[in-house]
Amino acid sequence: MRILVIGSGGREHALAWKIKQSKLCDKLFCAPGNGGIEQIAECIDIKADDVAGLLDFARKEKIDLTVVGPEKALALGIVDEFTKAGLKIFGPNKKAANLEASKVFSKELMAKYNVPTAKFKIFDSPDAAKKYIEENGAPCVVKADGLAAGKGVVVAKTVDEAKTAVTSMMQDKIFGDAAKKIIIEDCLIGQEASILVITDSKAVLALASAQDHKRIFDDDRGANTGGMGAYSPAPIVTDLILKEVMDKIIFRTIDGLAKEGIDYRGVLYAGVMLTKDGPQALEFNVRFGDPETQAILPRLKSDLIEVMLAAGAGKLSKIGALEWDSRACVCVVCAAGGYPGNYAKGKVISGLEEAESIKDVVVFHAGTELRTINDVGQRQEREYLTSGGRVLGVTGLGATIKEAINKTYQAVDKIKFEGMQYRKDIGKKAVS
């Protein structure tokens, strides 16, 4: 099969890496890809949200299956366009993608179909939102309705912090039109877990549990990011808790969508807070998580392409239980200095070969590019440069979480670039 992966981050590198292992994969493309993906796939210079360009390429190159990484392409309706053209594509259609593209749609669906979630209120006026905050107090959570690259959520500890978030989102428009409407909801207390499933709208296959680390600094301090690391499995997600999440959150959501006339095929990701009152849904994503994918896919033994094809064809029930490596996996994100704020690009990365020479370590590239520095005769020398905020996802497998942590940080120690920052406590919750 000729397969196209859409996207350019660490998640897409992990997807491409896993897809390349499939016996069904003959030729792999990635648009636009990155420096690391370039080593395993042919990278095509088409942006991930250029739906028309991607469709044209898929037709010309006779692509047998397209796998969508980022949410923006899904929200733009790439699945609808490919399906209309008779091309196979893995991911939910535009209506289903609203589950992530609009937090208002998502919360209203949860309320309608009795999915446990935090009490919330929707606002289209900053003054009304601030008045509500003053009356209800803090802590609370302020969320932009639309897509904001994983940064549209502020967990406010004080009333002033919450009101500042409203000002930034609705008046300063730091997320553009994504915050025309906002949600203010109660702050849930507990540990957060990521539950990802693959579904064809009827059958559901759960992927291994994971736990993400959103804050930039150790001990969950500092600004929210797109994710600074993850580990799988999450010991806090027991069989009993997983069953409760599946019954009360996943199945109710998929059934609710079906009742609304929305057929959901692809990955459904539930961010879940494990509270003293049971699991509650924080939000939904309509694609593989980043960096959870980097911690989950190295543990997957089943053929990912077979599963994706079955989901797209509505035949997921014919796939048996997924097979998993019993070992734990830890991913540590190496980010650019200044991230998630302003950061420099073009910094030379060293130590990648040394890191990957460690057994059971793989380095997924998120924000890198390859540059030719010397092209003399037959000998071409190239180097990796930073090109994004999250630069690398260093990932290691170990018999236990502790062993996986040690192996991953051993690899991180080999890597250097100017301004490099990373958390030192990824996986610590699982050990304690």
Taking the complete model, does pTM exceed 0.85, yes or no? yes
3-state secondary structure of 310: helix
- Mean pLDDT of the chain, nearest integer: 95
Mean pLDDT to the nearest integer, 85-107: 97
pLDDT on residue 354: 98
Alpha carbon 394 to its chain's center: 16
Q: Please check the confidence at residue 358 and state whether its pLDDT lies above 90.
A: yes
d(CA 110, CA 23): 39
pLDDT bracket for residue 377 (50, 70, 90): low
pLDDT bracket for residue 276 (50, 70, 90): very high
Return the H-helix or E-strand segment holding 368.
strand 368-376
pLDDT on residue 151: 77
Mean pLDDT to the nearest integer, 366-387: 82
Distances from the Cα of 208 to the Cαs of 29, 192, 357, in angstroms? 27, 15, 26
pLDDT on residue 149: 74
pLDDT, tens digit (0-9, with 9 covering 90-100), for 56-69: 999 999 999 999 99
d(CA 37, CA 5): 10
Mean pLDDT to the nearest integer, 349-354: 97
Contact (CB, 8 A) for 34 and 315: no
Mean pLDDT to the nearest integer, 121-140: 96
Higher confidence at residue 152 or residue 356? 356
Mean pLDDT to the nearest integer, 213-217: 94
d(CA 431, CA 29): 39
81: left (phi over 0), alpha (psi -120 to 50) or beta: alpha
pLDDT on residue 223: 86
Half-sphere exposure of 82 (CA within 13 A, CB side): 33
Tell me if the bond preceding 233 is cis, omega within 30° of 0: yes
Amino acid identity, position 261: G
pLDDT bracket for residue 372 (50, 70, 90): confident
Q: Please check the confidence at residue 379 and state whether its pLDDT lies above 80.
A: no
- The 8-class DSSP code of residue 149 comes to T
d(CA 23, CA 19): 9
Contact (CB, 8 A) for 115 and 247: no
Which residue from 340, 290, 282 is spatially nearest to 141, judged by alpha carbons? 282
Mean pLDDT to the nearest integer, 392-421: 98
Three-state SS for 212-262 is ECCEEEHHHEEEECCCCEEEECCCCCCHHHHHHHHHHHHHHHHHHHHHCCC
| Percent of the chain whose predicted confidence (pLDDT) is above 90 | 93
* b/e per residue 169-200 (b: at least 16 CB within 10 A): bbeeebbeebbebbbbbeebeeebbbbbbbbb
pLDDT on residue 24: 98
d(CA 355, CA 332): 13
Q: How many CB atoms lie within 10 A of CB 133?
A: 23
Least confident window among 82-91, 261-270, 320-329, 368-377: 368-377
Which residue from 11, 294, 256, 14 is spatially nearest to 116, judged by alpha carbons? 256
Contact (CB, 8 A) for 94 and 105: no
d(CA 414, CA 20): 26
Mean pLDDT to the nearest integer, 342-357: 96
| Percent of the chain whose predicted confidence (pLDDT) is above 70 | 98
pLDDT on residue 376: 58
pLDDT on residue 162: 96
Q: Residue 213 phi/psi, 5° resolution?
A: -125, 100
pLDDT bracket for residue 378 (50, 70, 90): low
d(CA 335, CA 37): 18
Q: Please check the confidence at residue 22 and state whether its pLDDT lies above 70.
A: yes
pLDDT bracket for residue 125 (50, 70, 90): very high
Joined tokens for residue 109: 């669906």
Alpha carbon 116 to its chain's center: 22
Q: Please check the confidence at residue 315 and state whether its pLDDT lies above 90.
A: yes
